[in-house]
Amino acid sequence: MTRRTFLTSTVGTTLWSAGSSGAGAFQHASAPETAPGDLYVWRQYTLRAGTGPRRLAEFLQNAYVPALNRIGHKPIGVFEVTTGLPTPTIFVLTPASAETFGAIDSRLERDDAFMRAAAPYFDAPASDPVYVRQEVSLLAAFPKMPHVEVPAAGAKAPRLFELRIYESHNERAHRAKVRMFAEMGEIEIFRRAGLMPVFFSRTVAGSRMPSLVYMLVHENQATREKAWDAFRNDPDWKKLSATEGYTDPEIVSNITTVLLRPAAYSQI
């Protein structure tokens, strides 16, 4: 079995088992969705102050993002941390599918234009690396929101992105929290309150599992606070969040919030 076949087979099995296992133990359960959404390759670069951020930006803007676009991966999001994690930290979001994500690296290696443009990045010596550490997670989009929703373009003011990670103490609790978003109306309440999603996903492989990861976009901090206030005071949310078996103390063990700004060359 080839590496690509093994990876795609493993992901397919994981997605199916996570979506169906134990479903009968919950009310509100529904039949599994048959049309899977995208996978997201979510990279986190931890850097030191100095030349690292500039050199990484040059690699991403001039080599990595254009090459990913050439092999069919778009839109690519690049985000700089402003609050919630040590800075400088850069995130890169790459949409893919179960059939394509395993071949990304090999296809890039065969791209001569990419390899030429990426030479300064790859030639950096161990004594002067571009970044300190790189972590990669594989996320699976919710079937209800199967693709990235790119925010409307044209806003002159910098947009504010919000990354949120919900961890659970076990897989059953995690599935319950996913169900609140995917089947019980929480995403609709978000939209009604003015919390505009970019993506919703589950972590298929990575750290801090089981967890779900989603991203919102705001015009600014004031509109963010207004939308969250509207969400917290929404009658449907109050009812949903008080439902037995679905309260935060029962199914959520930790929430991480990170505020981000898009890089100038980000496609999201």
**Whole-number Å distance between alpha carbons of 24 and 67:** 44
Q: Which CATH number goes with the domain that contains 210?
A: 3.30.70.100
Q: Is 26 contained in some domain? A: no
**Whole-number Å distance between alpha carbons of 59 and 79:** 14
Domain holding 173, by residue range, is: 3-14+33-262
Half-sphere exposure of 265 (CA within 13 A, CB side): 14
Residue 213 belongs to what H/E stretch? Answer: strand 211-218
Q: Is 249 contained in some domain? A: yes
Q: Is 224 contained in some domain? A: yes
Count how many domains the chain has.
Answer: 1
CB burial string 192-230: b at 16+ within 10 A, e below: ebbbbbbbbbbbbeeeeebbbbbbbbbbeeeebeebbeb
199 and 148 in contact (C-beta within 8 Å)? yes
Q: Is 244 contained in some domain? A: yes
Q: Is 28 contained in some domain? A: no
* pLDDT of the chain, 268 residues: tens digit per residue: 444 433 443 344 444 344 433 333 333 333 344 457 899 999 999 999 999 999 999 999 999 999 999 999 999 999 999 999 999 999 999 999 999 999 999 999 999 999 999 999 999 999 999 999 999 999 999 999 999 999 886 444 679 999 999 999 999 999 999 999 999 999 999 999 999 999 999 999 999 999 999 999 999 999 999 999 999 999 999 999 999 999 999 999 999 999 999 999 999 9
163 and 92 in contact (C-beta within 8 Å)? no
H helices then E strands: how many in the chain? 11, 8
Q: Is 25 contained in some domain? A: no
Q: Is 268 contained in some domain? A: no
Q: Is 66 contained in some domain? A: yes
Q: For the whole model, what pTM was predicted?
A: 0.86
